[in-house]
Every structure is written in structure tokens, then in C-alpha cells.
Amino acid sequence: MARLLEAVACLLAVFLLLQSIPTTLSAPPPAPPPAHPLPARKPAQPQPPQHGPKPPPSGSKPAPKPFYAIAHRVLTSAGVVAALKHGANAIEVDFTAQQQGWWADHDRTPTSRRDTAEAVLKTIADQRRRGMTVGFVWFDIKNPDAFPASNKAASIEALRDLARKHLEPVGIGALYGFYNWTAWGRAYAVLSADLHRNEALNHEGPAAQTTRLFNTRGPANVAQRVLSVGALFKPSDDIGVCASNGGGICPQLRIGATSHDFGQVLGWTVVQNSVKQAYQMMGEAGVDGVIYGFAETDYADHLDTRGAFGIVRGWLDKNKDKRYLATNADKLW
């Protein structure tokens, strides 16, 4: 038994001795450094915030543009209310100067005078204040040079002052319209020399002729140059082959719209049942607005005026990717 205990004690001593000896194994040597050490990476820099909408992806369609449905020959306050109720977002008014002042008057006869210019403009401004959409008033000026500047009631300055008094404060544009010889008189020069931001000049005629006029007599800002071409046509009338370079209504509108010489191009006049002509002007020519309503009488609440607007509205509903009825927030020129 004593020998057995000695043997166990001996084995235990050997075991303790082995535990006290450090191991001879070690980790593998480190890898040699690369021949060309890489530069230290810089910490990532914070990116500035992105502002504004992202650009459209390459090849995407352009955004739809605003369009103006312009009520024709609105000569009374009642006509203004009716037109805006129907859906018009711009108003065309014929203005005639008489010794005592300016009137809404198309025919310039002893019996054709309607409301005063101020009454019509005031009604339009009031409707805008009430929330109706009114982009601009198209001034079809029948006799712009009838009276000199000394006539404080009937000069072109007097009409412009009425526009600035009533339309400008509520954000409504004023489009002063000229045609033929009227574009070469004193009134045109007066307006062209001092346009406010909400004002523009319109000339009725072929695109090339209108470009020459604007280049000669102003305005300098292309955005404030507006071309119009049209007629009081019947639904059966031919307005030309839009894709041609002819002198017809539709080709001249198309030439103007693709020339980049004008801020806007407007056509006229869409009447009840003139679907073909309306769609040519709006679609093939690419105009920015059309006059609609009766062909040869004052605007009023009537089946034909509602029907004419319905033609314009119908095209817009079918082409929402191209055009939409302009709102008060849209920039004019």
C-alpha cells in the first residue's frame, strides 16, 4: 500500500511539473506589408441636402401645360358672371373709346354700346376676389388712337389706367390686342414702352408679319408677345392643313407655336358644333388658348355658349397629358 501511494504521488508531481512549462506553440508570423501601401481612406463627408424637384428621368414626357378657354365678346357684367360659371378662365372684351370714356362695345354704332369699361373690369376683379378663376382679360381695342393723351377719359392711357386700377391688384393679366394699322399708331407705342409684369401685347395676323412687328415696335420680352390667328368661322369652314406652311388659320397657328417667337399663341373662335376646327387648333397647332362662344353676338348664358365651352373641355379631358385648364396660380407671361 505504501508503494502504491508513493507511485501516485510521483505521477502527481510529474503532472504539476508539465503544467508549469510554457507552451512552445505560437501564432503564425504577420504577413509582410504590401509593396505599394494603399493610402488611408478619408472619412465620408456629409452630403448637402437636396432642394427642389428631381429632374425627370431621361426620355420622360414633358409636363402638361396650362390652357386658356377665353369667353368671346363679353360686354356686360352679366356676361362675365355667366362665362366664369360655364368654366372660362379668361375673358375677351371689345373696347371702344367715345368722347366721355371707354365702353364695352363691339360694333361702334349708336346703339351697340353695352356696359362701361370700368363696370366690366370691376365685375371681373370682384369675381376673382370671390374665388373664380380669371387668368387675363383680352382687350380687343377697336379704336385705340381715337383720342389724344389730353383726353383723360378716352385716351389709351385712360384705358390702361382702368386695367391697372382693377385687374393688377388682384393678379389678373391684361392682354392689349391690336391688328392691321392699329399696331402702328401712338397707342401701341405708349403701351409697349411701359408694360407692367401682368401686361402683354397681342397682334392678330400671320406669324412672320407679327414677329417683324414685335421686333420693330416691341415689347422686348418675348414672353409678353402674343400671336393670335382666327376667324368667325362656321363649323363647316376649312381652316387649312395644319402641317403645311400655308397662310390658313391652322398652319399659321402651328408656325407661331413652334417658332419660339411668342410667349403665347391663341386661336379663335370655337362655336357650337365646331369640333373639328377646335381639335385642329388645340391638338395639331398646339395653341395655348382659344376664344369660344357665340360667333357674332354678345356672350350670354345659352345652350350654344355652354356647348362651345364643352368642346374645349372635351379636348382637355382627352389630353390630360398635354394640357390642363389654367388656374390662378399659373404664370401668364
pLDDT, tens digit, for every residue of 15-56? 444 454 444 334 444 444 444 444 444 444 444 333 333 445
pLDDT at residue 222 greater than cutoff 90? yes
Closest CA to 72 of 92, 98, 88, 52: 92
CA 160/CA 165 separation, integer angstroms:
9
Task: Enumerate long-range contacts of 193-196, CB under 8 Å, 24 or more apart.
Answer: 193/218, 195/219, 195/221, 195/224, 196/164, 196/168
Residue 161 inside a domain? The answer is yes
| Domain annotation covers residue 53 | no
Percent of the chain residues past pLDDT 70, beyond the cut: 82
Catalytic residues: 72
Is residue 238 included in any domain, yes or no? yes
Answer with the residue of higher pLDDT: 284 or 110: 284
User: Which three cell numbers mark 148?
Assistant: 389724344
Res 35: pLDDT: 45
CB-based contact 195:163 (threshold 8 Å):
no
Q: Tell me if 117 is assigned to some domain.
A: yes
pLDDT at residue 14 tops 70:
no
> What is the pLDDT, as a whole number, of residue 104?
98
Residue span of the structural domain in which 269 resides? 65-325
Give the pLDDT mean for 215-223: 98
pLDDT at position 100 is 94
Confidence band for 6, pLDDT divided at 50, 70 and 90:
low
Q: What is the pLDDT of residues 162-181, one digit of tens each?
A: 999 999 999 999 999 999 89
DSSP code per residue over 136-189: EEEEEES-TTSS-TT-TTTSHHHHHHHHHHHTGGGT-EEEEEEEGGGGGSHHHH
Distance (Å, whole) CA 250 – CA 269: 12
Cis peptide before 327 (omega within 30 of 0): no
| pLDDT score of 59 more than 80 | no
Mean pLDDT of 75-94: 99
Q: Considering only CA atoms, which of 210, 206, 172 is closest in space to residue 188?
A: 210
More confident residue, 52 or 271: 271
Evaluate whether residue 19 is within a structural domain: no
Residues 48/52/54/56 CA torsion (nearest 10 deg): -150
**Would residue 296 count as lying in a domain?**
yes
Q: Give the cell for residue 17.
A: 511539473
Model pLDDT, residue 8 = 45
Identify whether 187 is part of a domain: yes
Q: Is residue 88 situated within a structural domain?
A: yes
pLDDT score at 25: 35
What is the domain-level CATH number for residue 208? Answer: 3.20.20.190
Predicted local confidence at residue 22, as pLDDT: 45
**How many domains is the chain built from?**
1
